Structure 1
Amino acid sequence: MASEFPGSPRVMKGGLVAYRLPSTQPLVIAFQYNPDEVSRSLQSQAAAGGGGRGETNRVNGPPQETLTFSVEIDAADQLEKPGENATVVENGLHPVIAAIERLVYPSYPIVVANEALALAGTAFILSETAPLTLLVWGPRRVLPVQIQSLSIKEEAFDQKLNPIRAKADLTVRVLTYRDLDVTNPGYWVYLAAFTQKEVISSMNKFSAAGAIAALGRL
């Protein structure tokens, strides 16, 4: 929906972009409304066994990071203009809900192929993997993630019992260079985010200079 104030800055939309490799055709899920809040948890990966004296701070790779947020979806704006939104009128929010759910499902063609192979008595089974999913939360936070939990609450329905208002609660785990093969594009996406975090953190030196001086006067 356009802003009531023409001079106000345009808000960038967050979203999820999923790839079923080796296909490069993405499934894009742009957030209709950006989440009001995102909870982040970082758990340090301490080296196993703790090590000896002087190795207390040794870690086994980057921290395990999880993000939790809620995405609200409402078909009210589309239903106000039924002539321009025939798909929503006919299906409600089923298409977008199905797209979100696909993030935790293996590839349908591979599942069908495996079932056919199993019926034929073939021992060879294709790997059933979830898509490579990228969380896009502004230009400074693009991360490869794995959906750990997904809860969808359908809150309103039309005459055909199609959901027309819903909320999806997601918990995602950031995939690091320890989780991904170097041939996986997500490996390089994570390294780019890691590099950007290193650069951004260095900016804090300027604002911290005054605080350091104040500490010296205590």
Structure 2
Amino acid sequence: MTSFPGAPQVLKGGFVVMDGEGKKVERVVSFQYNPDALTRALAPRGAKTEMGDRLEGLRLTGMPVETLKLDVEFDATDRLEKPLGNKDAVENGIASDLATLETLIAPRVADTAQAQALAGTGTLEILPLPSPLILLVLGRNRLLPVRITDFSIIEEAFDPRLNPIRARVSLGMRVLSTEDLAWGTKGAELFRAAQSRREKLADARKTPVQALGLSGTL
């Protein structure tokens, strides 16, 4: 999967993990290879109407629910060809690459230990453990707050110590909109920016009704 010499530089997609308030970048997870395809589905939020309810038939109650699916691949072949400069790949294959994604959907051990300690002292913990803000980055113009909803791994090849050296990760995500995030938060701000870019793209595409075989007045 080595790139051709002289090939143009391609931006890498990945995730930016921020603290729950969106004030500090905690880490960056980049894809080794960008996904070949991205599946997007948008479910409109429409008012629940009964037959004959003429007031609600055209009304939208909020932003659509957008879900994403993509596959990302990891391969240690190139790194294993240069073992002196890739000690981690020699010792662990792509386990570190997979771990960077797997830890996106699990609370930190220290946080769970702290919660258990509070429970042991009789402290009632009502709220779940705080979660980081996860941003999916697919180029400079697509930066979306997401929640990972599906996660599966197919490990396809192994080294002599059974470390995975090639794998495919399938991810399902839900875009977090202003329906999910508090107004004024970093996540809500980024979603609004993405939606504004989408609206500008739509406004720039002007198509006359004549293109559909209709007259100028319907």
The TM-score, its normalising length taken from structure 1, stands at 0.88
Residue in structure 2 matched with residue 33 of structure 1 by the alignment: 33
In the alignment, the residues of structure 1 paired with residue 103 and residue 68 of structure 2 have an alpha-carbon distance, to the nearest angstrom, of 19
The CA RMSD measured in Å over matched residues stands at 2.1
Residue in structure 2 matched with residue 162 of structure 1 by the alignment: 163
Residue in structure 1 matched with residue 210 of structure 2 by the alignment: 212
1:97 matches 2:95: no
When residues 98 and 177 of structure 1 are mapped into structure 2, their CA distance, relative to the original with a 3 A threshold, is same
Displacement after TM superposition at 1:4 (Å): 2.6
1:65-109 alpha-carbon deviations (Å, 9 max, x no partner): 001110010011111111111111111111111110111112332
- Choose 65-74 or 53-62, whichever is displaced more: 53-62
Moved over 4 A (4+): none
When residues 145 and 118 of structure 1 are mapped into structure 2, their CA distance, relative to the original with a 3 A threshold, is same
| Residues 16, 25 of structure 2: 8 Å contact kept | no
Partner secondary structure for residue 168 of structure 1: strand
Residue in structure 2 matched with residue 14 of structure 1 by the alignment: 13
Partner secondary structure for residue 45 of structure 1: strand
Partner secondary structure for residue 72 of structure 2: strand
Partner secondary structure for residue 62 of structure 1: strand
In the alignment, the residues of structure 1 paired with residue 131 and residue 95 of structure 2 have an alpha-carbon distance, to the nearest angstrom, of 20
| Residues 42, 63 of structure 1: 8 Å contact kept | yes
Aligned residue runs from structure 1 range 135-174, under 5 A: 135-174=136-175
Residue in structure 2 matched with residue 189 of structure 1 by the alignment: 190
- Structure 2 letter corresponding to 1:37: A
In the alignment, the residues of structure 1 paired with residue 3 and residue 100 of structure 2 have an alpha-carbon distance, to the nearest angstrom, of 27
- Structure 2 letter corresponding to 1:110: D
Displacement after TM superposition at 1:127 (Å): 3.3
| Residues 148, 173 of structure 1: 8 Å contact kept | yes
Partner secondary structure for residue 118 of structure 2: helix
1:105-141 alpha-carbon deviations (Å, 9 max, x no partner): 1233221100111222222466313321111111221
Displacement after TM superposition at 1:178 (Å): 0.9
In the alignment, the residues of structure 2 paired with residue 77 and residue 123 of structure 1 have an alpha-carbon distance, to the nearest angstrom, of 51
Displacement after TM superposition at 1:199 (Å): 0.7
Aligned residue runs from structure 1 range 62-101, under 5 A: 62-101=63-102
When residues 79 and 2 of structure 1 are mapped into structure 2, their CA distance, relative to the original with a 3 A threshold, is closer
- Structure 2 letter corresponding to 1:128: L
| Residues 117, 125 of structure 1: 8 Å contact kept | no
| Residues 156, 163 of structure 1: 8 Å contact kept | yes
Displacement after TM superposition at 1:198 (Å): 0.8
- Structure 2 letter corresponding to 1:34: N
- Structure 2 letter corresponding to 1:196: R
| Residues 134, 144 of structure 1: 8 Å contact kept | yes
Structure 1: unaligned runs, 5 residues or longer:
none
Higher percent of residues as strand? 2
| Residues 20, 130 of structure 2: 8 Å contact kept | no
Displacement after TM superposition at 1:204 (Å): 1.1
